[in-house]
Amino acid sequence: MDHAALKQFVTAARHLHFAHAARALSIPRSELIATMRSIESQLGYELFDSSASSTQLTAEGEAFLVDAERQLASSARAAAASAAKPGGKAKASKGKGRAPAVKGQQKPGRKRQSR
């Protein structure tokens, strides 16, 4: 299952209001509803009770919510574990530069112009 779809489902299940969940996710409400229908068709059962006057989770939806939260938490732990650790040795730039000029000495690789 897609990580973004799981995140959208968990947000919708916590808010129990599609418009508020869509606003929290910064996506259109129609996209959120389409994602929920897609998840329901993949799973083969309804996650939200469509007969209720307000948005409610079905028993299967509540069970799937626990599983989805567990999957999101494990993927967040895996991402945190694979992230680079802060600190370490700083690496200097290996660009082509030249040493600072010393007063009274000629530049390396260049002869003085004779008169």
Dihedral angle sign, alpha carbons of residues 69, 83, 27, 30: negative
**Domain boundaries of the chain, sorted by first residue:** 3-82
* Class (C level, CATH) for 3-82: mainly alpha
> What gap in Å lies between CA 8 and CA 4, rounded to an integer?
6
Cα–Cα distances (Å) from 41 to 29, 36, 93, 99, 106, in that order, read 18, 9, 54, 68, 79
Per-residue tens of pLDDT for the chain, all 115 residues: 788 999 999 999 999 999 999 999 999 999 999 999 999 999 999 999 878 788 899 999 999 999 999 999 988 888 878 777 776 666 666 656 666 666 666 666 666 666 6
The model's pTM is 0.68
